[in-house]
Structures are given as C-alpha cells and as structure tokens.
Chains A and B, each alone.
Chain A
Amino acid sequence: MRDEIRKIQELMEAAEYVTDAPVATSVHLAMRLRKPLLIEGHAGVGKTEIAKVMARMLGTNLIRLQCYEGLDAGTALYEWNYQKQLLHIKLHESSGHSAKEEEREIFSEDLLLRRPLLQAITQEQSPVLLVDEVDRGDEEFEAFMLEVFSDWQVTIPEIGTIKATHPPYVILTSNRTRELSDALRRRCLYLWIDYPTYDKEIRIVERKVPGINHRLAGELARFMESLRQMRLNKVPGVAETLDWALALAGLHADHLDETVVSETIGCVLKDADDIKRFRAEVQKSGLAPFVQVPG
C-alpha cells in the first residue's frame, strides 16, 4: 500500500473516523486527481462525516451546501443584500450621484452575500466543499453545479468573472432517492459505502463511545447485523448503533438482555411496523437469534 494512502487512513483514524482501504483510496485519488468524489450509501453510514474529517485532516475550511428540492443558483451561489441596497438608495437619494455611480455602489462587493459555492471559490486555501444529499436537489441544479465544477469560475454580471485561485476539494453525497445524471457520475470518482462489517462496527462503537466494554460492543454489532437482515422498512445505520450504545452506556448496562433491549429499542428502530415485527420475533424465539453467532 502506498504510504500516502496509509497516511490518510491514519489521519482519518486520528480524526475519530474509523475507515478502511476503499475509503482511504478514494479520498486519496480524489485529492490527487482533483476530481469530485461522489459518495453513495444508505442513510447513517457516515458519508457526510468523510468530508468533515477530510477538512480536519487538511486543516482547511469545510463549506457545506445542503441540497433540497427547489434549491436554485441564487441560494447556492450569491445574492445581493437587498435591504442594504434599498437603504443605500434612500440615503443617497439627494446626494446628486449619477445613476452610474449609484449603480457601482449598490452592486459593490460589500453588498454581495456569498453563498456556499461562491465562498468555496474565494478562499485563500483550498477548502472542502460538501454538497450534501445531491439527490434532493433537482436536475436543473445538478446541471448548474456541473457548470461551476468544470472551470471553477463564476460570472456575476454586475462585478465580473471570479475565478478560483484555490479550487475546492469536492465531496458529494447521495442517498439514492433519485438517480443522478450520467453527466454527474462521469465527472466524479465514486465510492459506495455499505453498512459496516461486524469488526468495523465494533471498532466504530469503541472509538466513539469510550469506556464501553468490549463484550457489549460485540453484542451490539452482532445485534445490528441481524437486525439489518430482517426485512425492515427503516434499516438502522451506524448513527443508530451509536445512539443506542450511548443510551446503554448511560443506563450502565453491560450486556443486552430482553428488558434492556425492549426499553431502548426505540434508539434503533424508528418505524412502528418495524418495532411491532421485532417484538413479535422476540416473543417467538427470544433474544438469542439476534446476539448469537449465526451457524
């Protein structure tokens, strides 16, 4: 393995992020090739976390653009500070400025509100730009974003063209609620994050919930593994595991038994039907199938 990749893995671990070779390799290539990294995976497997850790690792700013339906260029790129502009016009009404001067003043950089994308290209040091949940935005916005990504410059009619001197590292995340365009996929490196393996999940729990005993962490990981194999409507992610581990730590539980599980299952299962199905399962054959090693 390349030292650089190992270094990334170490740095990520140091930044409290439990990682593995696929993640480290993708991050390494994204930084080297200067290409956006598209991360897909189920909710709660730590996609967003990668961007945060990357920023911490590089000692740079994290700029986050949360996507939602109806997000448009104005909200993502820049907007004028209208209140100030109006005030400005009122104040200088009688000052006898010419229309030209007036225009220059109200469209000066002081009155420009920088939204995430503009912020990302006007930094002193390459920041990490996190475009969270791209699948929630609409296709038009996707196309607009690709345009910005292609040459890292933005034209504001009143000011001129701003070109990034330090283009950002880009991380995009998606929950696959909508299929992203091929154009976007082509421009990105791709990383799929699955639910963690048994060992990885233990490591995550132990890292994030210090002081938890090894046996409980193991039981939790096994439990989550079996839960995820049930046909659930809302499959719990790592975030749920951690919530649960914290709750159990708070209750000073040191192993899983039926009472504890029944009291705290709301940390992991968040759908009425799922809970019903789970309780039926437990009533039928107890907790054993969930915590025992299969086979």
Chain B
Amino acid sequence: MVRFAALLRRQGLPVTLIHVTDAVRALDHLDIGDREEVYLGLRAVFVGRPEDVPAFDRTFDAFWRTATEADAIGEALAPSLPDEAPATERESSARESLALDAWGEMDGDDGDEPLGVPAASEREAMATQDFATFSADQLDAVYRLTVQIARRLARRISRRRRPSARRGRLDLRRTLRANLTRGDLIDLRFRRRKRRKVRLVLLCDVSGSMDLYSRFLLQFLFALQAVFSRVETFTFSVRLTRVTEYLRGRSYREVLRRLTAVRDWSGGTRIGESLAEFNRQWPGLVDRRTIVIILSDGWDTGDPDVLAAELLRIKRRAGRVIWLNPLLGNPSYEPLTRGMAAALPLLDHFAAAHNLAALRALAGTLHL
C-alpha cells in the first residue's frame, strides 16, 4: 500500500499518511478478491476531487496489472509522467515548454537569498518601465515589488471590514455576560453584521500575443492569491483552465513547475468561448461580492458577439468587472480590436497593466 501511495504521489495526487492508514483499514472491510470493489474503496479513500480520477485509474490499473513484476510498473506509468511526454504530444507542447522554460530561468533562488530590495530610485524607474522591456536580471526585483503591491492591495480591502463599536444589532450573548453582576443591562454590547468578504476571480490571458506580459501578470496573480483568502484564478487562450490549485504553492518556482501541466500556453485566443466555458463550469463563483478581473490584450480570434454575450452574463452577476489591458500603456493604442470594442461598454473599469505603477494604481479600483 505504501508503494501504491508513492506511485499516486508521483502522479500528482496529494496523498498523505492518513490516506495510507485509511486505505489499509479500508481493506479490512472490502472483499480483496473483488477487483472492482477494491478499486471503488481505494478510490473513495485516495481521490479527493474528480480531476484526480484519471490519474488514479491509470495508477490502479498499472499497479494491479503488474503487481507481480514490480519493475514493469514504472514503465507502464512512464508515458503519463510530465517529464517524459510521449512523442505525439511532444511536438505540440514544444512551444509551451519553451515559454515556460524561459520563466524557470527568471525564477532565481527564491526564499534563500537575502532580501536585497533595490534602491528607491531604481525602484521608481522599474515601476514605470514596460514589462516587455525588462531584462532577465531585473526579474527578481520585479517579483518582490509585485508581492509588495499585492500585499498593499490586500490591506486596502481588509481595512474596509472593521466593525464599528456602537452600531448594529445588540449582541445578547456578550451583553448578558458583561452585566451579570449588575442586575440590569447597563453596558450594552453590539455586534455588526459581518461584511461578507470580497472574492476575486482572475481570468488571465496566456495566449501568444500576451506572452511578454503574461509571465509578469501570472506572478502578480500568484502574489495576489498568496495574500487574499478568497481568490479563484483561471488562465485561458483557446481553452479555459482553472489554476487556483497550481498557484497555491509556497514558492513561485514550485508553482511554475506545476503550471507546466497546464496546456495551451502561447496559443491563439478565443476569449468569448473561454468566458462561456467559465460561465458554464463555474457559475457559482461569481456573485454580488465578487470582483472579476480579466487580464487580456483583447486580441481575439473568436466571435465578438459571443464575447459580448458572455461578458454580459458575468456582469449581471458580478459586483464589478475590471479589464486590465497591457497594451493600454502605449499612448498610441486605441481599443479598436473587435473583441475589445465589444467588451468595452460592459466594463466597470478598463485600465493598463503594462508596468508596476499600473498594478499599484489598481488599489483604487479593487472595491465594490
């Protein structure tokens, strides 16, 4: 069972010791001779979300088919391991991995190195420099600034939530406690309806036209997700992928490694279809207390009508819809692409996202 668990872990399932002991206990209550039953039982123990079922199935099949020839297991599983993509997939993923390799280099030894924050003037210069023109050795500094900005944004939002002391409904529990020995209610305690937290839904364009920017913006998303408690993050190009889980790592490098599993990097864009997919798959994520942020340059090869219709669906439910467009930093840019033109009237806020100053300016718009 420990070996089986190790294999599952190699397939990316979050398997812990609790799972292993549970699995062993579960076998006591299952008919070991019945393959189907053992399969269902172990699946209930090991799999925590539907996306993990295929990986579990593969591992289970391989493990039990070759249970007697231990060496063959590794072979049977090898094709599905991320570092050895099968030849057919290799070609299509070549571009993607190229894009990602470049990212890996810029990551540096995060965490271990001393936090040498660049001098103020240097920092200011960086803040207004276009992301597209950064050189590789500046990237670490940019990352740190990104984190700072994200933290500041988080503080701004949370400050709005502090309850006032003398308003709201009477808090009977605390009032009674405080006045027990007085015989009457003198010192009144109040409680205010706790404001529901704001949720961020981030939709980031990672298509080819965004390539220069998306690596920075994704870093920003990672930083945002680390400081906000309620963030859902998706990437899209021709297809929508939920990356909330992938961004939940401790270091950005680890996160990048996990993002390798996400396909569609640097492909074309179909924004409308991606939003439609979002609306279909995740309707519950957006409500009045949700800020939806779309990061895209608006270059869309899909139908602008679909884009407008789907964006409208989001707008109807969301508290705020913000579109960040890196191209907006260019003074000569006008949002004339068909997709952008269709989307523009539906947005609450349309802003640039081409440099750190622009990201910092976001603070003023991140509220409901």
Q: Which of B49, B196, B280 has the most CB of A within 10 A?
A: B49
Give the Cβ gap from B15 to chain A, nearest Cβ, in Å. Answer: 10
- Determine whether the beta carbon of A26 is less than 8 Å from that of B14: no
Cα(A102)–Cα(B179), bound, Å: 12
- Determine whether the beta carbon of A40 is less than 8 Å from that of B50: yes
- Determine whether the beta carbon of A25 is less than 8 Å from that of B22: no
**Interfacial residues of chain B within 22-47, with CB under 8 A of chain A in the complex:** 22, 25-26, 28-31, 34, 36-37, 40-41, 43-45, 47
- Determine whether the beta carbon of B181 is less than 8 Å from that of A69: no
Cα(A46)–Cα(B265), bound, Å: 38
- Determine whether the beta carbon of B26 is less than 8 Å from that of A74: no
* B106 at interface, CB cutoff 8 A: no
Give the Cβ gap from B88 to chain A, nearest Cβ, in Å. Answer: 27
Closest to B179 in A: A89
Contacts of B48 in A (CB 8 A): 38, 182, 185-186, 188, 190
* B283 at interface, CB cutoff 8 A: yes
* B160 at interface, CB cutoff 8 A: no
- Determine whether the beta carbon of A25 is less than 8 Å from that of B37: yes
- Determine whether the beta carbon of B34 is less than 8 Å from that of A99: no
**Interfacial residues of chain B within 256-300, with CB under 8 A of chain A in the complex:** 276, 279-280, 282-285
Closest to A35 in B: B22
Q: Mark B207-225, 1 if CB is under 8 A from A, else 0.
A: 0000000000000000000
Contacts of B50 in A (CB 8 A): 40, 192
* A176 at interface, CB cutoff 8 A: yes
Give the Cβ gap from A88 to chain B, nearest Cβ, in Å. Answer: 10
Cα(A135)–Cα(B37), bound, Å: 29
Interface residue from B14, B37, B245 paired with A5 (Cβ < 8 Å): B37
Interface residue from A22, A29, A85, A86 paired with B45 (Cβ < 8 Å): A29
Q: Mark A257-278, 1 if CB is under 8 A from B, else 0.
A: 0000000000000000000000
* B250 at interface, CB cutoff 8 A: no
Cα(A177)–Cα(B29), bound, Å: 33
* B154 at interface, CB cutoff 8 A: no
Q: Which of A32, A178, A190 has the most CB of B within 10 A?
A: A190
* B159 at interface, CB cutoff 8 A: no
Give the Cβ gap from B174 to chain A, nearest Cβ, in Å. Answer: 11
* A284 at interface, CB cutoff 8 A: no
Closest to A179 in B: B244
Given A26-B44, A177-B284, check contact A21 B37 (CB 8 Å): yes
- Determine whether the beta carbon of B36 is less than 8 Å from that of A93: no
- Determine whether the beta carbon of A103 is less than 8 Å from that of B31: no
Cα(A186)–Cα(B16), bound, Å: 8
Interface residue from A21, A69, A89, A233 paired with B283 (Cβ < 8 Å): A233
Interface residue from B16, B31, B313 paired with A2 (Cβ < 8 Å): B31
- Determine whether the beta carbon of A1 is less than 8 Å from that of B173: no
Q: Mark A22-58, 1 if CB is under 8 A from B, else 0.
A: 1001101110110101101000000000000000000
* A82 at interface, CB cutoff 8 A: yes
Contacts of A89 in B (CB 8 A): 183
- Determine whether the beta carbon of B284 is less than 8 Å from that of A93: no
Give the Cβ gap from B145 to chain A, nearest Cβ, in Å. Answer: 28
Give the Cβ gap from B279 to chain A, nearest Cβ, in Å. Answer: 7
- Determine whether the beta carbon of B49 is less than 8 Å from that of A190: yes
Q: How many residues of A contact B (CB 8 A)?
A: 52
Contacts of B196 in A (CB 8 A): 69-70
Closest to B196 in A: A69
* B162 at interface, CB cutoff 8 A: no
Contacts of B43 in A (CB 8 A): 22, 190
* A16 at interface, CB cutoff 8 A: no
Given A99-B181, A175-B284, A179-B232, check contact A29 B34 (CB 8 Å): no
Give the Cβ gap from B149 to chain A, nearest Cβ, in Å. Answer: 24
Cα(A93)–Cα(B14), bound, Å: 60
- Determine whether the beta carbon of B22 is less than 8 Å from that of A33: yes
Cα(A192)–Cα(B34), bound, Å: 21
* A191 at interface, CB cutoff 8 A: yes
**Interfacial residues of chain A within 105-141, with CB under 8 A of chain B in the complex:** 106, 135, 138-139
- Determine whether the beta carbon of A176 is less than 8 Å from that of B37: no
Q: Which of B41, B53, B283 has the most CB of A within 10 A?
A: B41
Given A2-B29, A99-B181, A233-B283, check contact A29 B44 (CB 8 Å): yes
**Which are the 8 A-B pairs with shortest beta-carbon distances?**
A177-B284, A185-B48, A82-B172, A25-B40, A32-B29, A26-B44, A2-B31, A189-B44
A selection of 27 A-B contacts at a CB cut-off of 8 Å is: A5-B31, A22-B40, A22-B43, A25-B40, A29-B41, A33-B22, A33-B29, A35-B22, A40-B49, A69-B196, A70-B193, A86-B176, A93-B183, A103-B180, A106-B176, A139-B229, A175-B284, A177-B284, A179-B232, A182-B14, A185-B49, A186-B48, A187-B18, A190-B43, A192-B49, A232-B280, A233-B279
- On B, residues with C-beta under 8 Å from A are 14, 16, 18-19, 22, 25-26, 28-31, 34, 36-37, 40-41, 43-45, 47-50, 53, 172-173, 176, 180-181, 183, 185, 193-194, 196-197, 229-230, 232, 244-245, 276, 279-280, 282-285, 313
- On A, residues with C-beta under 8 Å from B are 1-2, 4-5, 21-22, 25-26, 28-30, 32-33, 35, 37-38, 40, 69-70, 74, 79-80, 82, 85-86, 89, 93, 99, 102-103, 106, 135, 138-139, 175-179, 182, 185-192, 231-234
Known: A28-B29, A86-B176. 8 other contacts (CB 8 A): A2-B37, A25-B41, A26-B44, A70-B194, A138-B197, A178-B284, A179-B244, A182-B48
